[in-house]
């Protein structure tokens, strides 16, 4: 401790080095760390990140605490930050490692419904929504201080393990700015935090756009009277002629289909007949060969028997 009970001054570079060491220690213990690293002077660069930080800076009650939080998050002292449903948990490096918990109320149902209906037909895809690439009208609806998506101070509950007795200390402010930086890479975490389903914005938008397209197309279709006046043709007579001629055309088409089918059937029969004839010829030839072989074998056997009998007779005579 230095004079007057204050801690000795530690340079920012030394603090950053110690903060990175603490991150490595937590990782070795098996803890999944998600630190907030900021490159450059701006904390957030995308629409959602900037809108979050702008909403944060509109809290007049915390205006004197926010600058220290900005310097903390820029120096990399937010060594771990997790966003879940309605809650932010983080660890901030200071004179010690402090745990920060921030609870945020769910978006009111009436407020969310009004926003969905106001944005209907103005957001084309999920990519467009998450990237913040939409019209100024949608931006005004989302970022409106009263009816917008971002929470009010009354809907936020702040807590930190540091000895500072104020509601928003520099560690809490650093975490809130860290959320803005996180939204640059993960904008979907804003809807997770506020427990709002961003698919509803897209589905309502596509449904509204489809109904508009169908209504526009129906308006563009000409009536029969307009066509008759435009081309000088009586559409009623033409329709009657089509009705009269259509059965003949159908019958002709059926007759041609039948002829084609008959031709195919005849071709199949011919091919089957040819194959059957070839098979019959082959089988007859095989039978004839087998019969001939049997006759030859029987004749040879008879000759052998007669020769043996003659030998026996000759032997008896000689005796």
Instruction: Give pLDDT tens digits for 148-207.
Output: 899 999 999 999 999 988 889 999 999 999 999 999 999 999 999 999 988 887 765 454
Of the candidate ranges 24-38, 44-58, 66-80, the one whose mean pLDDT is the lowest: 24-38
Which tokens is 125 given? 């895809």
Q: How far is CA 127 from CA 48, 132, 139, 191, 287, in A?
A: 13, 8, 15, 14, 79
Ranking 25-39, 70-84, 108-122, 212-226 by mean pLDDT, the lowest is: 212-226
Mean pLDDT of the chain: 76
Q: What is the pLDDT of residue 302?
A: 66
Helix axes 170-185, 47-57, angle to 10 degrees: 160
Region of poorest pLDDT, from 89-93, 97-101, 216-220, 250-254 = 216-220
Instruction: Give the whole-number percent of the chain exceeding pLDDT 70.
Output: 62
Max avg pLDDT among 89-98, 196-205, 260-269, 280-289: 89-98
> Model confidence at 238, in pLDDT bands (50, 70, 90)?
very low
- Please state, in angstroms and rounded to a whole number, the distance separating the CA atoms of residues 58 and 156: 14
Phi-psi region of 176 (alpha: psi -120 to 50; beta: other; left: phi over 0): alpha
Q: What contacts 307, CB < 8 A, 6 or more positions away?
A: none
For residue 266, what pLDDT is reported?
Answer: 62
Tokens of 30: 């098996």
Q: What is the pLDDT of residue 64?
A: 87
What is residue 50's predicted lDDT score, i.e. its pLDDT? 93
DSSP codes, the chain:
--GGGPPPP--HHHHHHHHHHHHHHHHHTT---------SS-S--SHHHHHHHHHHHT-GGGTTTHHHHHHHHHTT-EEEEEEETTEEEEEEESSSEEEEEEEEPPPPHHHHHHHHHHHTTT---HHHHHHT-S-HHHHHHHT-TTTSSSPPGGGEEEEESSS--SSS-HHHHHHHHHHHHHHHH-THHHHHHTT--HHHHHHHHHHHHHHHHHHHHHHHPPPHHHHHHHHT--HHHHHHHHHHHHHHHHHHHHHHHHHHHHHHHHHHHHHHHHHHHHHHHHHHHHHHHHHHHHHHHHHHHHHHHHHHHHHHHHHHHH-
pLDDT given at position 115: 87
Check residue 227 and give its pLDDT.
42
pLDDT of amino acid 191? 92
Among 170-174, 198-202, 242-246, 276-280, the minimum mean pLDDT is found in 242-246
Q: How confident is the model at residue 236 (pLDDT cuts 50, 70, 90)?
A: low
> By the 8 A CB rule, do 179 and 81 touch?
yes
Copy the structure tokens of residue 316: 């008896």
pTM of structure: 0.61
Q: Which residue has the higher pLDDT, 211 or 49?
A: 49
Report the phi/psi class of residue 235: left, alpha or beta, with left for phi > 0 and alpha for psi in -120 to 50.
alpha
């Amino acid at each position: 401790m230095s004079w007057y009970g204050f801690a000795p001054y530690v340079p920012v570079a030394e603090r950053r080095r110690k903060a990175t060491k603490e991150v490595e220690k937590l990782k070795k213990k098996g803890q999944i760390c998600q630190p907030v690293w900021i490159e450059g002077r701006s904390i957030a660069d995308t629409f959602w990140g900037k809108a979050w930080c702008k909403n944060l800076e509109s809290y007049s009650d915390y205006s004197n605490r926010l600058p220290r939080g900005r310097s903390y998050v820029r120096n990399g002292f937010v060594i771990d930050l997790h966003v879940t449903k309605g809650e932010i948990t983080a660890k901030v490096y200071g004179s010690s490692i402090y745990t920060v918990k921030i609870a945020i109320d769910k978006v009111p149902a009436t407020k969310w419904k009004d926003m969905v209906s106001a944005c209907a037909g103005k957001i084309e895809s999920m990519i467009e929504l998450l990237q913040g690439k939409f019209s100024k009208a949608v931006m005004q609806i989302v970022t409106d201080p009263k009816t917008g998506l971002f929470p009010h101070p009354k809907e936020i509950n702040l807590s930190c393990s540091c000895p500072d007795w104020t509601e928003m200390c520099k560690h809490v402010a650093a975490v809130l700015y860290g959320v803005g930086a996180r939204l640059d890479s993960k904008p979907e975490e804003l809807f997770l935090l506020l427990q709002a389903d961003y698919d509803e914005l897209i589905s309502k938008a596509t449904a509204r756009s489809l109904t508009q397209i169908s209504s526009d197309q129906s308006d563009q279709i000409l009536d029969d009277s307009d066509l008759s006046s435009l081309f000088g043709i009586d559409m009623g007579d033409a329709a009657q002629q089509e009705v009269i001629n259509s059965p003949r055309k159908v019958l002709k088409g059926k007759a041609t289909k039948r002829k084609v089918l008959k031709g195919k059937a005849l071709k199949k029969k011919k091919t089957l007949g040819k194959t059957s004839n070839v098979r019959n010829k082959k089988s007859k030839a095989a039978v004839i060969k087998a019969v001939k072989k049997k006759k030859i074998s029987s004749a040879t056997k008879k000759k052998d028997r007669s020769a043996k009998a003659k030998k026996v007779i000759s032997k008896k005579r000689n005796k």
